Amino acid sequence: MKLEKGQIIEIKIDKIVYGGEGLGYYNGEFAMFVPMSVPGDILKAEIISLKKSYGRALIKEIVIPGAERVKDSDNITFEDFQGCDFGMLNYDAQLKYKKEMVEDVVRRIGKNSDVIVEETLGSPIEKNYRNKVVEPFSLNGDEIITGFFKRKSHDVFQVEDNMLNSVLGNRIITDLKSIINRKKLTVYNEKKHTGLLRHVMVRTNSFNEAMLVLVINDKSVSENVKELLKEVVSAVKEITSVYVSLNDRKTNVAIGNKNILVFGKKTIKEDISGIHFNISPTSFFQINLEQTKRLYELAINMFENIENKTIVDAYAGTGTIGMILSKKAKKVYSIEIVESAVKDGIRTAKENHIENVEFICGDVNKELGKLIKSEAVDSIILDPPRKGIDEESLLNIAKVGIKEIVYISCNPSTFARDIEILEREGYRLVRVKPVDMFPQTSHIEVVGRLIKI
């Protein structure tokens, strides 16, 4: 039977593949990828695209739910699960499939069939864990809404209670929208580049304080906007810092180049391992605080005899990991190319009276070689962005002969690619542990340890 786009088929889902989609075989032979599906599901699904050897389909009806599907089988779409592409799986199953995804890339891309991938470290909080959320404004008829973009679309859909945002963050956004709708402000139109309200960002901390950032399409902050924000602060006492971010550029980037403090403190504080960090509108800080503590503890415990070691924190950002490492290590060198991040790190170290971290502003490729010539470095910790580390940098790291590497990655594919290069250069991967930083989504972090052989 010839398949056609728009056709409704019945299909059983066999497995979840890397990226989080379910895979089944129509008539036992033609591969069909189905988002939001669970192994064991028997589905009626509508074909949305066809290639020569595979197709994609969307669930229209769950005939029989798979055993690992959450109980409410009325929810079938990406939007039903608030944009959470693993929301349809119970939590134990999420952890299982995340481990399988890491195993897949370590074997297939990393070409390593020896190392045992450990069980995924689950998050102690499965929902309402995000300490930062950015939502675009949009219009639903006459109502001003915020929310998420629909899958592969710029249309915004609103949810009553964002299941990932902190409870306080949800309350602030709800109150803000209520006040904005009374004031009847305009909403930004990206095609026409007109209208005022672009995004809202809320950051919360473990001390039940919040920072509110209103992103607007303007060159200055009007009295009207100040009055609006004053009303929000009166309604939600936990807000201790309020900014307006001016963004009048034609761009998809949410935060503008100029962030103006309107009320309260410049920063909110957060605490990890007894170290206080200052968080501004543009600061990078991990989204899931409780799991971040466990991630860093895992990484630190991967170093052997850490108390006697001099460690390089490469691609250090504001030096968060380096400062936490410094509580146990003999000495830490923190290398980062972005000058503002280095300044933030130096300030945080001074405020916390940390004296055994040295900050170096520069390119890891150049600075690591220089450092090795003057200091005996035992180990290095890598925590690069999603794109991973370029081959030249990995070859330079291998060349200087550091005996031990701990690698934290937010992208298992680039982690596996980089591990394969390091293993070619005389390292051996001896530990791999997935860490679930983002429950309800298919994203997965991974921590690995390599030793020079």
Which residues are identified as catalytic? 410
Query: CB neighbours of 185 closer than 8 A, spacing ≥ 6?
Result: 144, 196, 197, 224, 228
Could you tell me if 32 and 24 are in contact, meaning their C-beta atoms sit under 8 angstroms apart? Answer: yes
Alpha carbon distance 72, 247 (integer Å): 41
Query: CB neighbours of 49 closer than 8 A, spacing ≥ 6?
Result: 5, 55, 56
Could you tell me if 429 and 110 are in contact, meaning their C-beta atoms sit under 8 angstroms apart? Answer: yes
Alpha carbon distance 411, 416 (integer Å): 9
435 burial class (0-12, 13-18, 19+ CB within 10 angstroms)? buried
The per-residue b/e assignment along 9-26, b for 16 or more CB within 10 angstroms, e otherwise, is: bebbbeebebebbbbbeb
Alpha carbon distance 188, 209 (integer Å): 28
Q: Is the dihedral of CA 143, 144, 150, 152 positive or negative?
A: positive
Q: Among residues 377, 435, 442, which one has the least CA distance to residue 94?
A: 442
**CA angle at 448 for the pair 443 and 453, rounded to the nearest 5°:** 155
Q: How many residues does the chain have?
A: 453
Query: CB neighbours of 318 closer than 8 A, spacing ≥ 6?
Result: 277, 283, 284, 336, 341, 342, 344, 345, 348
